Structure 1
Amino acid sequence: MLPKVSIQILSQSLLAGTFVLISSGNAMLTDSGSANASEIPSIVQDTVSSATTSVSGNTSKPNPVSISDPIVDETIFGATRFDRATDLKMSYVSPLSDVLPRSVDRQTISQTPASSLNPNEPSEPKKWAVGVHAQASTTGFIGIDGGYKFSPNLHARLGLNTIGFNYNYKSEGIDYSTNFKPTNIHLLGDYFPFGGGLRLTGGFFIQNNQFTATAKSDSNNQITLNGTTYDASQVGNIGGEGKFGSSVAPYLGIGFGTPISSGFGFNIDAGVMFAGSPTVALSANNISSSIPTAIQNQIRSDLAAQEQKTNADLRSFNLYPVISIGVSYAF
């Protein structure tokens, strides 16, 4: 008696041959009148059943074999069902192929990207962006930003601003020529409540904004310190250095534009940085040695008093204004 595996292989071989017979002889049998096309499935089943019974020696009627069953037994070879006309490499496809079941490899479909299944579907919008900007700003004229779009209405950006500017400042009757040297690292969130360019911005700055100042004499070449007037030649150069009180400064503001959108952009910002009150240290260099020592000491004393008055004047300046207008390019 042949093993069960051999019987199954023989049955499958007979079935494959029978299928070829059906495919190639469908029209021929109908034309000859010897058999009707509707009788072909029963002929195939009787032939296969007889062959199986004669080999096994079993006179019991086996389960009928359907032409729709897979030609390769999954339990023996671990193979999946396939398209018979393709895998048997037949040059002729029978009209019965339209009604034969065709298996679909589910694993292949599950691994197929959605974009290939629907090529007309738009791709996901770009979320990351890096850009540079040039601006007229109180936080620095040149900057770089990197950002991420959590949604069309919520963006986050991390950036750096630097490159300062000069300006004139007057305190307690003294005019100063001031050079501002900003260094600002910011982490900001932009919320677009209406979906357009208008946004609300919040976050914080890590700032190291410093400034240097030089006192200027008046039109008579005189400088007044703590209410006492001196010739500029007596006091020499009076300078100062200052910085803001808080290295980490919260920020709140409003703006227009999307700084991290691809391509060129136009941006406006207005807000306040809670940077703390600045402090300044004044110094007198090159006090004239030709003047009496008492006057030299008086100049130093008046300069110290002037420094205290200047810091008191700056104490109320604890909100640093942020105003920015500029262009950006992100990619």
Structure 2
Amino acid sequence: MFRRVMLPLLIAAPAAAQALPIVNTGVTLAVSGGSLGVGPEITYRVNPLVAVRGSATFLGISGHGDVGDYRYDGHARISNFGGTVDIHPLLNGFRLSAGARSVSGNHIRFHGMAEGPQTYGGVTYSPEQAGELSGKIKTRSVAPIVTVGYAKTTLSGFTYGIDAGVMFHGRPRLDDVTATGQLGSNPAAIAERDRQLARLENRVDDYKYYPVLQLSLGYRF
């Protein structure tokens, strides 16, 4: 059975290889930038059908928002690396890619406090006296990624590309949470602290998928 299957494939392989269009193979060094961050990218085009690609990307961004009656400031740090296998089904620049990225360095550091006075055990405290909640929002350490994209090489060797897809980094979780003021020391404030942390968890619970949109510019050697 093995011979009957493999022998025709071995005979047909040289003819199939000759039928493939001429596509530049080799190594491309590029800079990639987008929702995954900015950083170096390297691609090795094995043959017209298959390529392998790796990159490391970094990004920092700050923002703020309200959850319940608390105001939060946050700083997102994106620091990840990984690779994909690129399949070029049309034997040109169009590619379907799948792989994984190490995202243990990705997190959001947050801190926030109530926007108005808080009452615990019949005593009213100012927002500063009530205290501050702070911590990190993190995801799993390794995230699968799938994208669809296109890369073009000019006659001079310069390349440009675009990829869009999704990274499956799992359900975000709260980590290293601390509380100051009454939230950290007053037993009467514990219920409010727990309610606020539950609101935060509910807010981030739906963000299991991370959208990917990356542009690249490089040179093929």
* Larger RCO: 1 or 2 (CA < 8 Å, sep 6+): 2
Q: Cα distance, 1:156 vs. partner?
A: 0.6
Tell me the equivalent position of 1:231.
Answer: 126
**Alignment partner for residue 265 of structure 1, among 159, 182, 195?**
159
The superposition leaves residues 187-246 of structure 1 with CA deviations (integer Å, 9 ceiling, x where unpaired) of 20222333443322211112111110122654xxx2789xxx9632223333221210x2
**Alignment partner for residue 212 of structure 1, among 91, 99, 109?**
109
| 8 Å contact from structure 2 (residues 25, 47) kept in 1 | no
Tell me the equivalent position of 2:186.
Answer: 296
Q: Percent identity?
A: 24
Task: Name the amino acid aligned to 2:137.
Answer: G
Quote the RMSD (CA, aligned, Å). 3.5
Tell me the equivalent position of 1:133.
Answer: 31
- Name the structure where strand makes up a greater proportion of residues: 2
The superposition leaves residues 49-71 of structure 1 with CA deviations (integer Å, 9 ceiling, x where unpaired) of xxxxxxxxxxxxxxxxxxxxxxx
Tell me the equivalent position of 1:280.
Answer: 174
Tell me the equivalent position of 2:62.
Answer: 166
Distance 2:117 2:32 in 1: 38
Indicate yes or no: 2:209 matched with 1:319.
Answer: yes
Indicate yes or no: 2:138 matched with 1:243.
Answer: yes
Distance 1:330 1:187 in 2: 18
Partner SS state of residue 182, structure 1:
strand
TM-score, structure 2 as length reference = 0.70
Tell me the equivalent position of 1:253.
Answer: 147
| 8 Å contact from structure 1 (residues 192, 198) kept in 2 | yes
Task: Name the amino acid aligned to 1:159.
Answer: S
Which structure is larger by alpha-carbon Rg, 1 or 2?
A: 1
Q: Mapping of 1:1-331 within 5 angstroms?
A: 125-129=24-28, 131-135=29-33, 137-140=34-37, 142-208=38-104, 209-215=106-112, 218=115, 222=116, 231-244=126-139, 246-257=140-151, 263-281=157-175, 282-285=177-180, 287=181, 296-329=186-219, 331=221
The superposition leaves residues 282-314 of structure 1 with CA deviations (integer Å, 9 ceiling, x where unpaired) of 4323x16xxxx9x93333431122212322332
| 8 Å contact from structure 1 (residues 283, 303) kept in 2 | no
Q: Cα distance, 1:279 vs. partner?
A: 0.6
Unmatched tracts of structure 2, length 5 or more = 1-22
Partner SS state of residue 312, structure 1:
helix
TM-score, structure 1 as length reference = 0.49
| 8 Å contact from structure 1 (residues 267, 327) kept in 2 | yes
Q: Cα distance, 1:146 vs. partner?
A: 2.4
Q: Cα distance, 1:276 vs. partner?
A: 1.0
Distance 2:215 2:114 in 1: 34
Change (3 A) 1:183 1:223: farther
Change (3 A) 1:250 1:233: same
Distance 1:223 1:255 in 2: 52
Distance 2:178 2:69 in 1: 17
Number of paired residues? 193
Partner SS state of residue 313, structure 1:
helix
Change (3 A) 1:321 1:263: same
